[in-house]
């Protein structure tokens, strides 16, 4: 795809951070002796990735704002544009030596995501999208799936862990959804879950208690691949509550009806 100058900057930053994380991932696989040492090491890898991305993006576009998971947010001189960055999505996978994690970089303009890059270095899969120009993975055009029968669909989610408050709601979703579909996956990287919906690998995804950096790039990828994204509660916005439903356009209504059902 012939992308904008901003997209090129985002891709270069994601690839450079990806090289650093791949080196650290090899190291962490040999470091399982002490979970404290491995945890500290991964946290340093995560912060180093954010620094690489932040340095590259702010050098190229000094006036844009910044929202990243590992550093302080900055209101830019240009208040209409900001980067939204997760330097390592799927940290728990990374720590456990599971090759399913990614870098997620989005550009927001006047409250709307206009450019997106998600890079999965372990599989060498680079997902990109710009508003109105479609979504691509390694230069191949992406389309959401066209499955319209729930019983043939697989869905991804994130299961609330470590005392998150939305476990009962998610267990309720699973009890309703699982008998009606072909399966539910929990692979541990929300950015890739959304990229996989865009790629037609998953038919849909939902999750609660997410942050903007987990979703920003993935939301544009799904839209540009012809899918729907919406807040879980219709009286809210996706970022406001950190809750999202994404799916191919054929199954969205049926899927959303199940996920939006409240316990009796
Ligand atoms: C996490 C992953 C995970 C989701 C969590 C996120 P992190 O991001 O996206 O799939 O279930 O809610 O916090 O911490 O690995 O960047
Ligand atoms: Ca994340
Ligand atoms: Ca992260």
Q: From the alpha carbon of 190, which atom of ligand 1 is closest?
A: 9
List of domains in the chain: 5-141 (3.30.540.10), 150-259 (3.40.190.80)
Helix, strand, coil shares of the chain, percent, nearest 5, are 40, 25, 35
In this structure, the residue with its CA closest to atom 16 of ligand 1 is: 89
Give the model's pLDDT for residue 58: 97
Tokens representing 54 are: 């932040």
Residue 212 contacts residue 84 (beta carbons within 8 Å)? yes
pLDDT of residue 31: 72
Cα separation of the two ends of the chain:
48
Ligand 1: atom nearest CA of 69 is: 16
Check residue 33 and give its pLDDT.
Answer: 57
Q: What are residue 17's phi and psi, to 5 degrees?
A: -65, -35
Measured from the alpha carbon of residue 93, the closest ligand is 1
Displacement of CA 102 from its chain's centroid (Å) = 8
User: Per-residue pLDDT tens for 141-184?
Assistant: 999 999 999 999 999 999 998 889 999 999 999 999 999 999 99
- Residues with Cβ within 8 Å of 70's Cβ and at least 6 positions away in sequence, in order, are 46, 47, 50, 87
The best mutation among 42, 169, 170, 189 to test binding of ligand 1, ranked by most ligand atoms within 8 Å of the C-beta, falls on 189
Looking at the CA of residue 159, tell me the nearest atom of ligand 1.
Answer: 11
Two structure tokens written together for 39: 């945890």
Task: Note whether 160 and 168 are within 8 A (CB).
Answer: no
Ligand nearest the Cα of residue 101 is: 1
- pLDDT of 37 reads 81
Q: Where are the beta strands (DSSP E) in the chain?
A: 65-68, 81-89, 102-109, 112-120, 125-130, 134-137, 140-141, 154-157, 183-185, 204-207, 228-231, 244-247
Q: How many CB atoms lie within 10 A of CB 55?
A: 12
* Residue 117: predicted pLDDT: 98
Q: Which of 89, 102, 202 to mutate to test the pocket of ligand 1 (most atoms within 8 A of CB)?
A: 89
Under 8 Å between Cβ of 130 and 113:
no
Q: How far, in Å, from the CA of 31 to the mean position of ligand 2?
A: 23
Q: Are 146 and 250 in contact (CB under 8 A)?
A: yes
Q: Which residues of the chain have pLDDT under 50?
A: none
């Amino acid at each position: 795809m012939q992308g904008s100058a901003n997209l090129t900057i985002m891709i270069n930053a994601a690839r450079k951070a990806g090289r650093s994380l791949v080196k650290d991932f090899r190291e962490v696989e040999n470091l399982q002796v002490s979970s404290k040492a491995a945890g500290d090491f991964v946290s340093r890898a995560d912060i180093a990735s954010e620094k690489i991305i932040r340095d590259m993006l702010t050098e190229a576009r000094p006036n844009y704002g910044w929202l990243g998971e590992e550093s302080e947010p900055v209101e830019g001189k240009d208040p209409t544009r900001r980067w939204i960055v997760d330097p390592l999505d799927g940290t728990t996978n990374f720590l456990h030596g599971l090759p399913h994690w990614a870098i997620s970089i989005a550009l927001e303009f006047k409250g709307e995501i206009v450019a997106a890059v998600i890079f999965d270095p372990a599989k060498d899969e680079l997902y990109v999208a710009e508003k109105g120009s479609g979504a691509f993975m390694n230069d191949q055009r992406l389309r959401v799936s066209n499955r319209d029968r729930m019983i043939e669909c697989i869905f991804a989610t994130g299961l609330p862990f470590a005392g998150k408050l939305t476990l009962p709601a998610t267990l309720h979703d699973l009890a309703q959804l699982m008998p009606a579909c072909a399966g539910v996956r929990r692979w541990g990287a929300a950015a890739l879950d959304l990229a996989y919906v865009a790629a037609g690998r998953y038919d849909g995804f939902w999750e609660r208690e997410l942050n903007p950096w987990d979703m920003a790039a993935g939301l544009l990828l799904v839209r540009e691949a012809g899918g729907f994204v919406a807040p879980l509660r219709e009286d809210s916005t996706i970022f406001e509550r950190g809750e999202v439903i994404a799916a191919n356009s054929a199954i969205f209504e049926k899927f959303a009806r199940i996920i939006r059902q409240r316990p009796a």
